[in-house]
Chains A and B, each alone.
Chain A
Amino acid sequence: PQAGSLGREDVRNCSSNPPFLPVTAVNTTMRLAALRQQMQAWNLSAYIITDTDAHMSEYIGKHDERRAWISGFSGTAGTAVVTMRKAAVWTDSRYWTQAERQMDCNWELHREGDIPSWVLAEVPAEGRVGFDPFLMSVDFWENFDLELQGSKRYLVSITTNLVDLAWGSERPPLPSQPIYALPEEFTGSTWQEKVSTVRSYMKNHTMAPTALLLSALDETAWLFNLRSSDIPYNPFFYSYTLLTDSSIRLFVNKSRLSLETLQYLNTNCTSSMCVQLEDYSQVRDSVKAYASGDVMILISIEYTNYGLYEVIPKEKVVINMYTPVMGIKAVKNSKEQALLKASHVRDAVVVIQYLVWLEKNVPKGTVDEFSGAEYIDDLRRKENFSSGPSFETISASGLNAALAHYSPTKEVNHKLSSDEMYLVDSGGQYWDGTTDITRTVHWGTPTAFQKEAYTRVLMGNIDLSRIIFPANTPGRILDALARKALWEVGLNYGHGTGHGIGNFLCVHEWPVGFQSNNINMNKGMFTSIEPGYYQDGEFGIRLEDVALVVEAKTKYPGAYLTFEVVSFVPYDRNLIDVSLLSPEHLQYLNRYYQTIREKVGPELQRRQLLEELAWLEEHTKPLSA
């Protein structure tokens, strides 16, 4: 493999004279000047701009895209800090090239190193470091505060957001679409059943909390089986829930609920199964008032913002990494499992239709990354129960695929060609489930290195998918299996190995996954399995499937688990080097291909998609060494 080429014109070069900025860079000079004016008024030496909203959402509404507005960098993860002289962004390897494409030379990009150390170096003693308490999790604040202790630099909570003041009238408005109840056929249990289950968890909790504060948007959406569209690709609405053993308080913009939805929630009473509506903006005052009594409030350290935490006396708060709702939601019941699986069969039809279309049209030279993304998005929208894509489609050809989260635009994209590898990572939101799948293909002659890298990524996917492990094993213990085949030859990937997925909820549904802050694996959980390999400046590979955690049959008795893959699209035979695969790999692959035929074949037949059916049969023929 060759190192990424120098002198590229797609990224900035701030060390050249004059500095080089690509067309994609955003001029932030005026924006920074406006923010620094506000910082001066508040006597701040630095101001922290996080990448999230008041609910610690991974994907946020346009009006919450403060870090993107001030820095130009639009990736979903990354924190900015602005001082009177400097401005800096920290982000992970998925977004380094994107940041170099979008930021101008006012900004430093930090690929590593922690933010508090930089703040300690840049802010003078007695300096005040401002932040919006609603946009920082308790976890983030505690870590930051710990680092600054004894340094004579002080974190200052300011409830007025200074970026918003600088943004002014250009800031997009708040959403106001209706909030609706999901039809019963698409829910695993009624909201009353869910409330009862959560209450019994609270009762059995060692700290016996009197109330549970739900801050993450998917927690409230799940609990009440309600949905809306406040955040792109996510069917959520801005809300909090304060649940006690005798009351339910839902903080929301009431005008967005129809009379029918109000009745569904029993809002005209105050007993234990009635939902009392309070205005969204009242949550801080209401939590503060509730906390003045003889109470104990359970919160999540990851999802609760510091603005709510700071109004609860410390002796009245129980901090857990995740709320019981997160844990209960992660284990899908049999109805939810069936719903999620059904959505994956329809989604496989979409991806297969797309791959067949690409095979016909790429050689004609008529497809680019953007038109491809539009095509697959349109296919999904035509499916039953569709509510659009579950994230911005990643359609990346050649070197662009080396950026794990690259998405093309109408203006800037790359033509698909038989000479390059192509990666498509996409998913749908359907009323019965959320999907997410990645396939990488090559329609011409791949290099030996590309075939080896692809096959090793596939080996990692198979090694993890077929593992048998004890119940309640932490995902992080399994993570190395997905990397083993790559590590053996000195290759790796810079992102996580997988994530939970929701029933018409988050595409990245925490806390299931393979990292240290994920919960232990148990029956009924769904996770993605997605190893990859990225050769900077050349190509990228990712093979992603969604799998259900199921009981494993073992020779000796015991509680053992394995994965049942529910994504049903074959891999690219053109990129598989069978000589690298073990007999176990081949046996697994051929069994998986048989399952694809059984699950998707009848659906293609039913719809008379005969070309796609022929393609499926061809691409799922048994492989041999």
Chain B
Amino acid sequence: MAPRTTSLASLWVASTLAILSWSN
């Protein structure tokens, strides 16, 4: 089943966290 596209509301928080973990 197709997953929903991430809502814009949570995108900012998520991106910040993801970038932090990526640079680690």
Q: Name A residues whose Cβ lies closer than 8 Å to a Cβ of B.
A: 77, 92-94, 114, 139-140, 143, 301-302, 321, 391, 394, 404-405, 425, 427, 436, 438, 474, 476, 494-499, 507-508, 513, 515-517, 520, 528, 530, 532, 542, 544
Q: Is the CB of B14 within 8 A of A517?
A: yes
Given contacts A516-B14, A517-B10, is CB(A474)–CB(B22) below 8 Å?
yes
Known: A405-B1, A427-B1, A496-B3. A516 touches B9 (CB 8 A): no
Residue interface bits B1-24, CB-to-A below 8 A is 1, else 0: 111111111110111011001100
**Is B3 in contact with A508, judged by CB distance below 8 angstroms?**
yes
A339 to chain B, nearest CB (A): 21
For residue B6, which residues in chain A have a CB less than 8 angstroms away from its CB? 496, 515-517
Question: Could you list some 17 contacts between A and B, CB below 8 A?
Answer: A77-B4, A92-B4, A143-B9, A143-B13, A405-B1, A405-B2, A474-B22, A476-B18, A494-B5, A495-B3, A496-B2, A496-B3, A515-B5, A516-B15, A517-B18, A544-B1, A544-B2
Q: How far is the CA of A321 from the CA of B14 in the complex (A)?
A: 8
Looking at the assembled complex, report how far the CB atom of B4 sits from the nearest CB atom of chain A, in whole angstroms.
5
- How distant is A81 from chain B, measured CB to nearest CB, in Å? 14
- 12 new A-B pairs (CB below 8 Å) besides A92-B4, A321-B13? A92-B5, A94-B2, A139-B10, A143-B13, A438-B1, A494-B5, A496-B4, A507-B1, A508-B3, A516-B6, A516-B11, A532-B2
Do A496 and B18 contact each other (CB < 8 Å), given the known contacts A139-B10, A143-B10, A517-B10? no
Query: What are the residues of chain B within 8 A of A542 when measuring CB–CB?
Result: 2
Q: Which residue of A lies closest to B7 (CB)?
A: A92
Query: When the two chains form their complex, are residues B1 and A391 in contact, meaning their CB atoms are under 8 A apart?
Result: yes
Cβ-defined contact, B9 with A495, below 8 A: no
Q: Which B residues are CB-close (under 8 A) to A532? A: 2
Cβ of A404: which chain B residues have Cβ within 8 Å of it? Answer: 2
Interface contact A520-B21, CB-CB below 8 Å: yes
Q: In the complex, what's the smallest C-beta–C-beta distance from A93 to chain B, in angstroms? A: 8
The answer on a CB contact under 8 Å between B8 and A114 is yes
Q: For B3, B8, B15, B21, which residue has the most chain A Cβ atoms within 10 angstroms?
A: B3
CA distance A498 to B3 in the complex (A): 6
A310 to B4, CA, bound (A): 28
* C-alpha spacing A266/B22, complex, angstroms: 42
Main secondary structure of the interface of A (DSSP, over half): loop
In the complex, which residues of chain B have a beta carbon less than 8 angstroms from the beta carbon of A93? 5
Prevailing SS type, chain B contact patch: helix
Q: Considering only CB atoms, which chain B residue lies closest to A95 in the complex?
A: B4
Q: Are A436's CB and B1's CB within 8 A?
A: yes
Q: A474-B22, A476-B18 are in contact. Are A140 and B9 (CB under 8 A)?
A: yes
- Measured CB to CB, the closest approach of chain B to A88, in angstroms, equals 16
B residues contacting A by CB (< 8 A) are: 1-11, 13-15, 17-18, 21-22
With A and B bound together, what is the CA distance between A50 and B8 in angstroms?
16
Cα(A213)–Cα(B23), bound, Å? 29
Q: CB-nearest residue of chain B relative to A542?
A: B2
Q: Which chain A residues border B2 with CB–CB below 8 Å? A: 94, 404-405, 425, 495-496, 530, 532, 542, 544
**Residue on B with the closest CB to A320?**
B17
Closest partner residue, chain B, to A520 (CB atom): B21
Nearest B residue to A78 via CB reads B4
Q: A516 to B11, alpha carbons, bound, how many Å? A: 7
Minimum Cβ distance to chain B for residue A337 (Å): 22
Cβ A139 vs Cβ B1 within 8 A: no
Within 8 Å CB of B3, what residues of A? 495-499, 508, 513, 515, 528
Beta-carbon contact of A508 and B14 below 8 Å: no
Chain A neighbourhood of B18, CB < 8 A:
474, 476, 516-517
State the 6 A-B residue pairs at the shortest beta-carbon distance, nearest first: A517-B14, A496-B3, A495-B2, A499-B3, A515-B6, A516-B14
Contacts of B22 in A (CB 8 A): 474, 520
Closest chain B CB from A302 CB (angstroms): 8
- Complex-state Cα separation, A494 to B8, whole angstroms: 14
Instruction: Select from chain A the residue with minimum beta-carbon distance to B9.
Output: A143
The chain B residue sitting closest to A436, CB to CB, is B1
CB nearest neighbor in A for B18: A474
Whole-angstrom distance between the alpha carbons of A438 and B1 in the complex? 8
Q: What separation, in Å, do the CA atoms of A438 and B21 have in the docked complex? A: 33
